[in-house]
C-alpha cells in the first residue's frame, strides 16, 4: 500500500505540520483527528469505520463510568462492554480467518465454516480481507483508557474530539509506541511547542528515518534473498547470515519507526514513552524484554500480569501468570501458529530464568551471557518470520548442519559476505550503546563540536535518505502488520 510507505509518510508530514502550527490551540486536536483519519484512509478507507466504532465504544463507556461514578455495577458493566467489544473486534478481524481455518481443518463441525462479514447498517466488510493496519496498537491504546478510568487512575475525557485525537494520534497510530491516556492526558488539554522540543523532535525523526531507510532496508535485502531460497539450497553460513540480517532489520525498522513517532510527537507538543533501549546488549532474556518494545511489555504487565497477581503469590502462580502473558504476547503479534509458538518459546525461557536459570546466568562472564541472549533471540526471529512451523524448524536445522545443501559455506554465503560485510559491521556498532558512551564522555570536553557536528551529521543522513527514497519504491514498516 502507498499508505504504508516511507515516501508517503515523508510527503504527508510537512504539510500537516505547517497547518498544525498556524492553527489556534483550540482547533489543534480536531486537526490531529482529521489528519489521522486522512493518513489512515489513504490505504485503508473501509477500516476507518472499524476504528471509529472502537473509539465510540470506549468513549461512551468512559462517559457511563463518569456519570454513574457511585454505582459500581454500572461502572463494571461499562468496563466489560469496552473490553469485550474491543477484544471481539480484534478477534474477528485479526484472528477470524485463523480460527475458522483451524476449525475447518479439524472438521469439528462436520462442514466448512464460512467467513463472517462485519456489518453496520448497509456497510459491510468481509473478514476474508486483511485486518486493519495497526489494529492491535490502537485497540490496546484505547482499552488502556477505560481500564485506567475504571481503576480511577485518570479523569474522564468528556470531549469526543479530544478522546478520538488520543486514539488516532497519527505519529504512532499504526505501529506504536503504545501510548496510554495517562501518558499524555495533560498534553491533550494544554501543550506548548518550544523551539528546543521541536529541534529534538526533528533530530530524532531524522535518526529514525536513517535507521529505517539506510540500515533496515539495506540489510533486509539480504534476508529477502535468503528467504526466497529453498531449504535444500542453503548452506550453514547462508542460513546464519540470512537470519542475522533479519535480526538487524527488524530492530532498525521498528526502533526507527518508534524514533520517528516519538520525534514527530515532540514536534506536535507530546512526549511519547520510550520504546527501545538497546535490547541487543542484554545479559538475559528477561532483560531483553525490558528493553524491546517496552510499551507493549509495560501494557501486559499493567493490565494482565499484575492483575493476575504478578510474582506475589508464589512460584506456581508466577509461572502461570507468565505463561498467560507470553501466550497472549504471541497471539497479539499475529494469527499464526508461528507467533503462538514464538510467544511460548520466550515464556518458557523467562519462566526458567525466574525459577532457576537466572541464578546461574549471573555468574557467567559477560560475553557468554550476551552470546546466550543473541542465540535465543536469533532462533526466536526464525519462528517470527518464516512461513510456517515446518519451515521454521527446517531452517533452524540447516543453521546447525541438519539438512540444507550439506556444506558449511558456498558461493551464496561468499557473495553475501562480500556485499554485506560493511552494513553488517555498521549494524553491530549501531545497535549497541557504544556511540552513546563515547558521546557522553567527549561532549563535556568539546560541546561546540558535537552541537554543530550533530546538526551536520543529521543533515547528511537526511540528504542520503532523500536520495534513497527518490530511487526506491515501496518501503513498508514491518510492524504495520500488527
CA distance 271 to 4: 24
| Other CB atoms within 10 Å distance of the CB of residue 49 | 16
- In the chain, what is the straight-line distance between the N-terminal and C-terminal CA atoms, in Å? 15
Three-state DSSP at 185 gives helix
Q: Rounded to whole angstroms, how far apart are CA atoms 106 and 467?
A: 52
Name residues whose C-beta falls within 8 Å of residue 35's C-beta, 6 or more positions apart in sequence: 16, 20, 170
Which of 209, 211, 208, 250 shows the shortest CA–CA distance to 227? Answer: 250
- The residue count for the chain: 482
Which residues, at least 6 apart from 328, have a Cβ–Cβ distance to it below 8 Å?
300, 304, 343
Whether the CB-CB separation of 480 and 174 falls below 8 Å is answered with yes
- Is residue 87 a contact partner of residue 328, using CB atoms and an 8 Å limit? no
| Nearest by Cα to 171 from 280, 283, 26, 32 | 32
150-155 contact pairs (CB < 8 A, 24+): 150/65, 150/75, 150/76, 150/78, 150/79, 153/182, 154/181, 154/182, 154/185, 155/185
Active-site annotation holder among 94, 211, 293, 333: 333
Set of cell numbers at residue 221: 535485502
- The grid cell for 207 is 535518526
Q: Reduced to 3 states, what is the DSSP secondary structure of residue 461?
A: helix
* Angstrom distance (rounded) from CA 408 to CA 420: 18
Tell me the backbone φ, ψ of residue 120, rounded to 5 degrees.
-130, 105
User: Is 333 assigned a catalytic role?
Assistant: yes
Alpha helix ranges (H) inside 91-122: 96-106
Q: How far apart are CA 193 and CA 271, in angstroms?
A: 11
Would you say the C-alpha torsion 469, 472, 474, 480 has a positive or negative sign? negative
Q: Where are the alpha helices (DSSP H) in 128-194?
A: 135-150, 160-168, 181-189
Query: Could you give the residue numbers annotated as active site?
Result: 333
Amino acid at each position: 500500500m502507498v499508505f504504508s510507505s516511507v515516501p508517503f509518510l515523508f510527503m504527508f508530514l510537512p504539510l500537516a505540520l505547517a497547518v498544525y502550527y498556524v492553527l489556534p490551540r483550540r482547533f489543534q486536536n480536531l486537526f490531529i483527528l482529521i489528519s489521522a483519519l486522512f493518513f489512515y484512509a489513504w490505504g485503508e478507507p473501509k477500516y476507518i469505520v472499524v476504528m471509529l466504532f472502537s473509539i465510540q465504544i470506549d468513549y461512551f463507556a468512559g462517559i457511563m463510568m463518569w456519570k454513574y461514578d457511585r454505582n459500581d455495577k454500572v461502572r463494571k458493566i461499562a468496563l466489560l462492554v469496552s473490553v469485550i467489544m474491543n477484544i471481539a473486534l480484534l478477534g474477528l478481524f485479526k484472528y477470524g480467518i485463523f480460527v475458522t481455518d483451524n476449525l475447518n481443518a479439524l472438521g469439528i463441525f462436520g462442514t466448512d465454516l464460512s467467513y463472517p462479514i462485519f456489518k453496520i447498517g448497509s456497510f459491510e466488510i468481509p473478514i476474508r480481507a486483511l485486518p486493519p493496519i495497526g489494529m492491535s496498537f490502537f485497540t490496546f491504546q484505547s482499552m488502556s483508557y477505560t481500564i485506567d478510568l475504571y481503576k480511577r487512575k485518570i479523569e474522564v475525557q468528556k470531549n469526543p474530539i479530544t478522546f478520538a485525537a488520543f486514539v488516532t494520534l497519527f505519529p504512532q497510530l499504526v505501529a506504536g509506541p503504545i501510548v496510554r491516556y495517562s501518558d499524555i492526558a495533560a498534553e491533550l488539554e494544554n501543550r506548548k511547542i518550544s523551539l528546543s522540543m521541536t529541534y529534538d523532535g526533528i533530530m530524532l525523526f531524522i535518526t529514525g528515518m536513517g535507521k529505517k531507510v539506510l540500515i533496515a532496508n539495506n540489510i533486509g535485502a539480504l534476508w529477502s534473498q535468503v528467504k526466497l531460497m529453498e531449504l535444500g539450497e542453503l548452506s550453514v553460513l547462508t542460513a546464519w547470515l540470512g537470519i542475522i540480517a533479519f535480526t538487524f532489520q527488524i530492530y532498525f525498522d521498528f526502533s526507527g519507526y518508534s524514533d520517528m513517532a516519538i520525534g514527530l510527537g515532540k514536534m506536535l507538543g507530546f512526549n511519547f514513552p520510550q520504546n527501545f533501549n538497546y535490547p541487543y546488549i542484554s545479559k538475559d532474556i528477561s532483560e531483553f524484554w525490558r528493553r524491546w518494545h517496552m510499551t507493549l511489555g509495560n501494557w501486559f504487565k499493567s493490565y494482565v500480569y499484575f492483575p493476575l497477581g504478578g510474582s506475589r503469590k508464589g512460584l506456581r502462580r508466577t509461572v502461570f501468570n507468565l505463561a498467560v502473558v507470553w501466550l497472549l504476547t504471541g497471539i497479539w503479534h499475529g494469527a499464526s501458529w508461528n507467533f503462538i509458538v514464538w510467544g511460548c518459546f520466550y515464556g518458557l525461557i523467562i519462566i526458567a530464568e525466574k525459577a532457576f536459570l537466572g541464578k546461574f546466568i549471573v555468574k557467567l562472564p559477560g560475553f557468554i551471557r550476551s552470546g546466550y541472549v543473541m542465540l535465543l533471540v536469533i532462533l526466536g526471529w526464525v519462528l517470527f518470520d518464516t512461513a510456517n512451523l515446518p519451515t521454521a524448524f527446517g531452517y533452524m536445522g540447516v543453521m546447525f548442519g541438519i539438512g540444507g545443501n550439506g556444506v558449511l559455506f558456498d558461493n551464496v554465503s561468499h557473495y553475501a559476505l562480500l556485499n554485506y560485510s560493511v552494513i553488517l559491521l555498521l549494524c553491530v556498532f549501531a545497535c549497541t550503546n557504544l556511540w552513546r558512551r563515547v558521546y557522553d564522555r567527549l561532549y563535556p570536553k568539546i560541546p561546540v563540536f558535537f552541537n554543530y557536528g550533530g546538526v551536520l551529521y543529521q543533515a547528511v543522513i537526511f540528504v542520503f535518505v532523500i536520495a534513497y527514497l527518490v530511487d526506491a519504491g515501496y518501503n513498508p514498516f514491518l510492524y504495520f502488520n500488527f
